[in-house]
């Protein structure tokens, strides 16, 4: 599990097969390398990869065919110069962003990026499968970065985020151009709500659920959630 607060930038180099060499290149790389261990999880542009070999300034990991198919890591369409890196969340650590699982739902594309007086406003287009989890003021991970949805246009499957200068400067968002592919992960909380809302299957281990038809829109409205 991750928080979506990027710790360093890196580069990726294919080693043949499904193996990749990830090299830390930013000055903050100590945040990744200071206690890295074999078997650790590292988010690479939002994709959870497992450390299989530790190098002086990076590590080697394997990206499965499914990972390469679903994410930007295997795409030659709009390759990124750098990837965002974040070590997994430790017990007791602060959660400064939101719960990011590192399980990318799919890719999206940058539509526009405009600088304002206080931030960068970036608009992305997402597939319908991802757009269903996007809500205004909700959380979404873009290339592993925890961002807040400032606006959402469901008819276009487009959403806009306001990126503060620090985040823009310290992540690979600044290298994106219109059309660039990005990894997108919807908020895990929204996925569980959808699961409970539409499954209609009560939890057999719950006393309350044993006397109900599960969580429905009527149930949520009755208890003040709608």
Residue 194's pLDDT is 76
- What fold does the segment set 106-188 form as a domain? Elongation Factor Tu (Ef-tu); domain 3 (2.40.30)
Q: What is the pLDDT along the chain (226 residues), one digit of tens a residue?
A: 898 999 999 999 989 888 999 999 988 888 899 889 999 999 999 999 999 999 999 999 999 988 988 899 877 765 568 999 999 987 767 777 788 898 999 999 999 999 999 999 999 999 888 888 898 999 999 999 999 999 999 999 999 999 999 999 999 999 999 999 999 999 888 788 777 777 655 544 443 443 445 556 676 677 666 5
Matching fold, domains 8-87 and 106-188: yes
Residue 189's pLDDT is 81
Query: Distance of CA 110 to CAs 35, 82, 125, 182, Å?
Result: 34, 16, 7, 7
Domain spans, the chain: 8-87, 106-188, 190-222
Which CATH number is 8-87 given?
Answer: 2.40.30.20
Please state whether 115 falls in left (phi above 0), alpha (psi between -120 and 50) or beta. Answer: beta
CB atoms within 10 A of CB 101: 17
Say whether pTM exceeds 0.75: yes
Helix (H) or strand (E) holding 199: helix 188-199
Residue 211 DSSP class: G
Residue 207's pLDDT is 37
Return the C-alpha torsion angle 3, 42, 152, 195, nearest 10: -80
């Amino acid at each position: 599990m991750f928080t979506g607060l990027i710790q360093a930038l890196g580069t990726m180099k294919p080693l043949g097969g499904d193996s990749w060499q990830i090299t830390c290149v930013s000055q903050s790389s100590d945040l990744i390398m200071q206690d890295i261990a074999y078997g650790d999880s590292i988010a690479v542009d939002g994709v959870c990869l497992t450390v299989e070999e530790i190098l002086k300034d990076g590590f080697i990991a394997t990206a499965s065919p499914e990972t390469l198919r679903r994410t930007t890591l295997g795409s030659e369409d709009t390759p990124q110069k750098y990837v965002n890196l974040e070590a997994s969340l430790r017990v007791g650590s602060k959660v400064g962003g939101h719960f990011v699982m590192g399980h990318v739902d799919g890719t999206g594309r940058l539509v526009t990026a405009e600088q304002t007086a206080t931030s960068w406003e970036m608009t992305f287009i997402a597939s319908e499968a991802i757009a269903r989890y996007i809500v205004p003021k909700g959380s979404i991970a873009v290339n592993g970065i925890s961002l807040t949805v400032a606006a959402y246009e469901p008819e276009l499957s487009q959403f806009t985020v306001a990126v503060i200068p620090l985040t823009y400067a310290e992540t690979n968002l600044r290298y994106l151009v219109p059309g660039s592919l990005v990894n997108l992960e919807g908020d895990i909380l929204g996925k569980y709500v959808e699961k409970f809302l539409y499954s209609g299957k009560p939890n057999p281990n719950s006393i309350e659920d044993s006397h109900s038809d599960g969580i429905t829109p009527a149930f949520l409205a009755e208890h003040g959630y709608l």
